[in-house]
Amino acid sequence: MQRLAECFAERRRQGGKVLVGFLSAGDPDLAQSEQDIRTALDAGVDILELGVPFSDPTADGPAIQEAGQRALAAGVSVTDIIAMAGRLRADYPKQPMILFGYANPFFSKGYEATAREARAAGLDGMLVVDLPHEEAGEFEPVLRNAGLAMIPLIAPTTPLDRASRILRDAQGFVYIISVTGVTGMRADLPDSFRDRIGALRRLTDLPMVIGFGVTNGEQARRVAADADGIVVGSALVRAAREQRLADMVRELRESLD
């Protein structure tokens, strides 16, 4: 978790914002996926979200759904993805990396085994999209004991009293969902999250990042103005398919610097 804190602190010292980049691990296969991830890290992604494919990704739009289906068709498993993280850690010792996925694959592998192997591979935390705070009592202590952060998600519809409970013992950073609905590129994003950030900052000192819908550098600059960083997923997944990933990351990086 120290890498996460240092990443945000360093960007603040530089006067920039953190770029969290999501890519679906194993899309279209492990080898190409790892090459794409290395391209993204070299081009300027600060924090890597390694997307774990799942057959019923209820929070994801078409680009990430399709990427997950390709990865599943290639036979990619949680074990394969954690092994990839270990290879990446050897070459990117300072880069924070988290697993991003749904509860079922981690439950199927076993929470203890997942946390143990993730820690050994050098991962910094996990974000489990469909595991509500009230139902995380079995997994969260396992992650804490392994020294891994369980990144909290705050939706636009989350009441502040519930957000307070979620953030009371949160670690890493806060992932603020900018819009209701699924992930995906959007032509425009509402400004309502600005007031939301102000209210949440009164509840925690953790850094705040905005995700869901950021599509280009201009949007990234506007969205990041009140936050500590942004998350970009669908736009990077599509850029990787179109072999323009490095250019996409550099555009985002320049907008945040």
- Site of tokens 């691990």: 25
pLDDT at 92: 98
pLDDT at 196: 85
Told to judge if 27 belongs to the known catalytic residues of this protein, a careful annotator would answer no
CATH number at residue 16: 3.20.20.70
pLDDT at 253: 97
Of the listed 34, 36, 49, 124, which one is catalytic?
49
Rg value, the chain, Cα: 17
pLDDT at 185: 45
pLDDT at 153: 95
Give the number of domains in the chain: 1
Closest of 112, 59, 96 to residue 173, by C-alpha: 96
Strands 47-51 and 174-177, by their bridges, are unpaired
Told to judge if 60 belongs to the known catalytic residues of this protein, a careful annotator would answer yes
pLDDT tens across the length of the chain (257 residues): 799 999 999 999 999 999 999 999 999 999 999 999 999 999 999 999 999 999 998 878 899 999 999 999 999 999 999 999 999 999 999 999 999 999 999 999 999 999 999 999 999 999 999 999 999 999 999 999 999 999 999 998 999 999 999 999 899 999 998 766 545 444 455 666 678 899 999 999 999 999 887 889 988 998 899 899 999 999 999 999 999 999 999 999 999 99
Range of the domain at 125: 2-256
Reported pTM: 0.95
Of the listed 34, 36, 60, 124, which one is catalytic?
60
pLDDT at 191: 66
